[in-house]
């Protein structure tokens, strides 16, 4: 099987590629990535020489470049601008990549008669839920940030491609992922790396915003299940029922790192900050038999250990030096 993975140099995408190559030794995986600030080939340094892996630098907004997906058995679209704060500062890149890019990729997939298209979305498209409710697949989309709105728009385009043109599509909506290789601007890696350097840990508002936390390895296995066994036209929520407030997360990390809670600094909340996400994964559990294997306790311990042991990766990522690795390894291709 030949899989065309867009955005495969990012956090979840790189973990997914590594999962595919270790799980399916006869699969061929093409990683198609633009290499923006969060697209880091350093994430895949260990598989550079894998015989079943190929990297192509390209933009999903570039229709001609997408001729590279010819012959693919499936397209898995991770390519996205994904940081909420950046979308609030400027939404233009989010609209271009997440909306126009997704439509361009859908058009190319239809033209190439790709048998399956997997759209990687987010629980954020459904907005904020109340204390006693949970997101299900049929929950209305009520995005509250430019990022979430762009991902909701992409989902509508994916659904339209299925209904109008008969393209075999499936969509995943995962809760907040964490684990190795996450860009250090996100909550958990930012708090870990700041704490290791004895820097202040900025916490938005009162720190009581709630998220369902999902270990990235479990998310990859869920996407695998949807790719191979999901029903065409369906959406699947992926969550681990591990709700934590941001403040609980920060306290846990400081305790694991043996750092004082006095490092916490409360800062002005960001605009439109959703109070609670809570994802109901019953559908994927019942239909596809997927269940998370990591508890939050085991997953966060693994994550802290990884960041402790990979300080050089953090330094290269923060400085942008991983682009030098790309130039050296791929000669600017």
Indicate which residues carry an active-site annotation: 123-124, 147
Helix then strand then coil, in percent of the chain rounded to 5, is 45, 20, 35
List Cα–Cα distances, 22 to 27, 28, 59, 258, 281, in angstroms: 10, 11, 26, 35, 25
Task: Give the largest CA-CA distance in the chain.
Answer: 57
Residue from 228, 44, 102 nearest 56 by CA? 44
Tokens encoding 168: 């075999």
Which residues are 215's β-sheet partners? 178
Which residues are 146's β-sheet partners? none
Tokens encoding 249: 């997360």
Tokens encoding 177: 């992922």
Q: Using an 8 Å Cβ cutoff, are 60 and 105 in contact? A: yes
List Cα–Cα distances, 272 to 17, 80, 244, 305, in angstroms: 33, 20, 19, 33
- What does the alpha-carbon distance between residue 124 and residue 36 come to, in Å, rounded to a whole number? 22
- What does the alpha-carbon distance between residue 313 and residue 309 come to, in Å, rounded to a whole number? 9
Which residues are 284's β-sheet partners? none
């Amino acid at each position: 099987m030949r899989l065309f993975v867009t955005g495969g140099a990012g956090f979840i995408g790189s973990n997914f590629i590594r999962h595919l190559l270790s799980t399916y030794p006869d699969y061929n995986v093409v990683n198609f990535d633009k290499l923006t600030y969060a697209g880091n080939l350093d994430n895949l340094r260990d598989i550079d020489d894998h015989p079943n892996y190929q990297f192509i630098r390209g933009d999903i907004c570039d229709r001609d470049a997408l001729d590279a997906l010819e012959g693919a058995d499936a397209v898995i679209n991770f390519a996205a601008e994904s940081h909420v704060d950046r979308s609030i500062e400027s939404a233009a890149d989010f609209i271009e990549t997440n909306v126009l890019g997704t439509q361009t990729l859908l058009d190319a997939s239809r033209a190439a008669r790709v048998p399956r298209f997997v759209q990687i979305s987010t629980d954020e498209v459904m907005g904020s839920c109340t204390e006693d409710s949970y997101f299900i697949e049929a929950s209305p989309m009520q995005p509250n940030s430019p990022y979430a709105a762009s991902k909701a728009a992409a989902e509508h385009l994916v659904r339209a491609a299925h209904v109008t043109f008969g393209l075999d599509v499936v969509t995943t909506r995962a809760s907040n992922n964490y684990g190795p290789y996450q860009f250090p601007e996100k909550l958990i890696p930012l708090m870990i790396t700041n704490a290791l350097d004895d820097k202040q840990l900025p916490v938005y508002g009162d720190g009581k915003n709630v998220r369902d936390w999902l270990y990235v390895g479990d998310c990859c296995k869920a996407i695998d299940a949807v790719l191979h066994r999901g029903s065409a036209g369906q959406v699947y929520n992926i969550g681990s029922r591990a709700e934590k407030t941001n403040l609980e997360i920060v306290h846990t990390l400081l305790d694991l790192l043996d750092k004082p809670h006095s490092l916490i600094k409360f800062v002005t909340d960001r605009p439109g900050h959703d109070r609670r996400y809570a994802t109901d994964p019953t559908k994927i559990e019942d239909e596809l038999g997927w269940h998370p294997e990591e508890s939050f306790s085991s997953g966060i311990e693994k994550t802290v250990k990884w960041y402790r042991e990979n300080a050089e990766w953090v330094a290269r990522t923060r400085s942008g030096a991983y682009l030098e690795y790309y130039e050296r390894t791929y000669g600017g291709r």
